[in-house]
Amino acid sequence: MPPSRRRVVVTQRFFDQATIDYLEQAGCEVVQADLPPGQADGNLSHDELVRHLAGAAGWIVGHARVTRELMAALPDLRIVSRRGVGYDRVDLAAAGDLGKVVCIAVGGNHESVADHTLALMLAVGHRFRETQARMIGGDWSILLGTDLYRKTVGVIGPGRIGRSVVQRLAGFEAEVLVHGGSPDAGYAARSGVTWVDLDELLVRSDYVTIHAPLTPETRFIIDAGALARMKPAAFLINTARGGLVDDAALLDALRNGVIAGAGLDVFLSEADPAFKPVTQALLELPNVIATPHSGASSREGLDRTNMVAARCVVAVLDGGDPPAECVVADGRKG
């Protein structure tokens, strides 16, 4: 395929027409990868990605691994724009070395993920899965659930998503404990949260929800020791990244009543297939509510995130700068 200065390849599903129109009006040729049903770009091999991206100047990507080898094989590629905010699958150092720009879609999906987080809290606390399964089998007996109202909720990672969760928890009159980042006295006073260390958060919280980035420092921030410090009646929610939680330790804790339940949108097996049996075992537990990394996948959230990613692409192809908060690597600056 011959190169095109304005060719933009989209390897994500659910790319809305309004965003396509915006790119085309900006002089871009939009090519949507024709993926088989049920396949995401994270399943594409290096050779398949090279084939899809040949001649592209811009790439709007989902969960594909963006390696040094891949970027080196795509000399026309100027910008990798993630429809999302995580970038642990992108080799940022390589992007800088190879003169590429890497952007994330900051501000597009945090409200959707926050909604999803509260949904998981309510679903696992009120035992929706267990109740419906019993009803399907003809058992309409009542299982006692756990309120979110006036409970203590620990938020690990007070970024955009974490703070959107805090905002929603105000309606439940929850006491909110926060861990991570630099304590912000002004935000704490306005929102009524309290910054605490991780141990205090774990010991005191009825619900623990994780919204931290995955880094070497945060990997397995919830391990067997952390789970043992939580209340036996507490619930763990993870809508951030697989790898923040030691899923094998979580499985053991749930089986043995160390904690009461979990709401999970992400799994360690997404990055490490060796953990697929652990994921499957978690999915089969009655006290687990699970979704397939779909927290950001509302119609509205995807439309917003598509547009943020597209605006970053156009800015770079026009020779300008995307919003500073969206840029995680800029190899143009040497």
Tell me the C-alpha distance between 284 and 282, whole Å: 5
pLDDT at 4: 62
- Clarify whether residues 150 and 42 are in a common domain: no
- Clarify whether residues 89 and 136 are in a common domain: no
Q: Considering the domain boundaries, does residue 254 fall inside one?
A: yes
pTM above 0.95, yes or no: no
Q: Considering the domain boundaries, does residue 317 fall inside one?
A: yes
pLDDT at 23: 97
Which has the closest alpha carbon to 268: 286, 253, 249, 252? Answer: 249
Contact status, residue 61 vs residue 41, Cβ threshold 8 Å? yes
Quick one: tokens of 312? 């970053």
Beta bridge partners of 152: 175
- Clarify whether residues 237 and 326 are in a common domain: no
Tell me the C-alpha distance between 33 and 244, whole Å: 31
- Clarify whether residues 171 and 257 are in a common domain: yes
In DSSP notation, 201-216 reads HHHH-SEEEE-----T
Q: Which amino acid is at 311?
A: R
- Clarify whether residues 51 and 21 are in a common domain: yes
Q: Considering the domain boundaries, does residue 2 fall inside one?
A: no
Block mean pLDDT (10 aa), the chain, length 334: 76 93 96 84 92 96 94 97 90 96 92 97 98 97 97 96 97 98 95 98 98 94 98 98 97 98 97 95 98 93 95 96 95 80
- Clarify whether residues 29 and 98 are in a common domain: yes
Helix (H) or strand (E) holding 116: helix 110-125
Q: The domain containing residue 123 runs over which residues?
A: 110-290
- Clarify whether residues 85 and 125 are in a common domain: no
Name the CA radius of gyration of the chain, rounded.
Answer: 21
- Clarify whether residues 116 and 102 are in a common domain: no
Active site residues: 241, 270, 293
- Clarify whether residues 182 and 218 are in a common domain: yes
- Clarify whether residues 140 and 89 are in a common domain: no
Question: Domain containing 206 — which CATH number?
Answer: 3.40.50.720
Q: Considering the domain boundaries, does residue 214 fall inside one?
A: yes
Helix runs in 154-223, H state only:
160-169, 185-191, 198-204
Q: Considering the domain boundaries, does residue 1 fall inside one?
A: no
pLDDT at 334: 61
For residue 313, the 8-state DSSP code is H
Number of domains forming the structure of the chain: 2
- Clarify whether residues 88 and 192 are in a common domain: no
Burial of 35: CB neighbours in 10 Å, binned 0-12, 13-18, 19+: middle
- Clarify whether residues 125 and 263 are in a common domain: yes
